[in-house]
Chains A and B, each alone.
Chain A
Amino acid sequence: MQILRILFLRLLTTLVTLAGVAVIVFFVIRVVPGNPIAMMLPPGATEADVARLSALYGLDKPLPTQFGIWVAGVMQGDFGTSITTRQPVLQLVLSRLPATLELSIMALVMAVILGGIAALVGTRRRGTGTEGAIDIANGMALSVPDFLWGLILILVFGVLVPVFHISGRVTPSLDLPFTTNFYLFESLLRLRFDLWADIVSHMFMPALALAIPLAAIIGQLLKQSLKETMNLDYVTLARTKGYGETRVILREALRNAALPTLTLVGVQFTFLIGGTVIIERLFSYEGLGNMAIDAVINRDLPLIQGIVILFAVIFVAVNMIVDLLYAVLNPRLRHA
Chain B
Amino acid sequence: MAVLGLLADGLVFSSIIVLGSIGLSLVYGIADFANFAHGDTMTVGAYAALVTFGGLSGVGGPSLLGLPAAFFLALAAGFVVAALVAVVTEKLVYEPLDIGAIGLLITSIGVAFIYRGLVRIVFTAESTRYDVQSIRPIEALVPYGVRVTYHDVAIVITSVVLVGSLHALLQYTDLGRKMRAMADNPELARISGIRTDRIRLVTWTVGGGLAGVGGTFLGLFNRLSPRMGFNLLLLVFAAVILGGIGSVYGAMLGGLLIGVVHESMPLLSGLGGLLPLVPDTLGIPVGIEYAEAVAFVIMVAVLLVRPTGIAGEGT
Whether A and B are associated in the same complex: the answer reads no
